[in-house]
């Protein structure tokens, strides 16, 4: 992972950011379809935010440091401990800031947070084979292709095949205390 100074920072997504989030997702429907459906209305946002209540899913905005503008979002989803110590990533750029490398930098920070603070061992990204921008993003970040999962996620009204891409913690790595000793 790059040690270059980054132009973005991560901040936990909060209920107070509803208007900003929904106006950016609304502006980004053309970019997100058919790959990703994010809440567009206040009601959907409030309901969607409940997924972060118990810590199993964590949600962040990727903000440009200089301006504070939200360039995108990243979720660390389905955190499982025990002998797995893994999670899966969900992410999207917001249209006004897409194609400028902010998501690459934001995901670099999400990987650092996951491996160093949450002490996860494995992160997955599950991507439809035609989603070339997302495939390019995970390749840049050093994920490896592990295989095709048929009918993996229900997206845009159908069960879609997904490529499974993953990255494991760099060494040295300090395990979370919940990892069994043997």
CB of 73 to ligand COA, least distance (A): 9
- Binding residue count for ligand COA, defined by CB under 6 A: 21
Among 6, 36, 87, 166, binds ligand COA (CB under 6 A): 36
CB contact at 8 A, 58 and 75: yes
Binding mask 114-153 for ligand COA (x = CB under 6 A): -----------x-x---x-xx-xx----------------
- 112-147: b (≥16 Cβ within 10 Å) or e: ebbbeebbbbbbbbbbbeebeebbebbeebebeeee
Among 21, 52, 60, 91, binds ligand COA (CB under 6 A): 91
The residue range among 15-23, 47-55, 85-93, 146-154 that interacts with ligand COA, by the rule CB under 6 A, is 85-93
Selection from 136, 156, 122, 119 nearest residue 35 by Cα: 156
Q: Is 101 in the site for ligand COA (CB under 6 A)?
A: yes
Q: CB nearer to ligand COA: give 83 or 100.
A: 100
User: Which whole-number Å values give the CA distances from 5 to 60, 69, 116, 130, in the listed order?
Assistant: 19, 18, 18, 32
**Cis preceding linkage at 172, omega within 30:** yes
- Residue 13 burial (CB count, 10 A): 21
Q: Is 60 in the site for ligand COA (CB under 6 A)?
A: no
Among 83, 100, 139, 144, binds ligand COA (CB under 6 A): 100
CB contact at 8 A, 10 and 59: no
Distance CA 58, CA 56 (A): 7
Q: CB nearer to ligand COA: give 17 or 163.
A: 163
CB contact at 8 A, 46 and 113: no
CB of 105 to ligand COA, least distance (A): 7
Name the site residues for ligand COA (rule: CB under 6 A).
31-32, 35-36, 91-93, 98-104, 125, 127, 131, 133-134, 136-137
């Amino acid at each position: 992972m790059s040690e270059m100074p980054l132009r973005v920072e991560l901040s936990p997504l909060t209920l107070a950011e509803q208007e900003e989030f929904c106006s950016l997702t609304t502006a980004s429907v053309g970019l997100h379809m058919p790959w990703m459906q994010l809440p567009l209305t206040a009601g959907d946002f409030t309901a969607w935010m409940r997924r972060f209540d118990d810590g199993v899913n964590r949600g962040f905005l990727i903000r440009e440091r200089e301006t504070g503008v939200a360039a995108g979002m990243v979720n660390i989803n389905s955190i499982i401990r025990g002998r797995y110590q893994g999670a899966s990533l969900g992410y999207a750029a917001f249209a006004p800031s897409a194609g400028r490398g902010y998501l690459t930098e934001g995901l670099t920070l999400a990987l650092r947070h996951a491996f160093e603070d949450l002490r996860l061992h494995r992160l997955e990204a599950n991507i439809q084979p035609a989603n070339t921008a997302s495939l390019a993003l995970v390749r840049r970040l050093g994920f490896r292709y592990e295989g095709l999962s048929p009918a993996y996620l229900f997206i845009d009204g159908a069960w879609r095949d997904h490529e499974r891409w993953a990255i494991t913690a760099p060494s040295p790595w300090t395990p979370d205390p919940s990892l069994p000793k043997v």
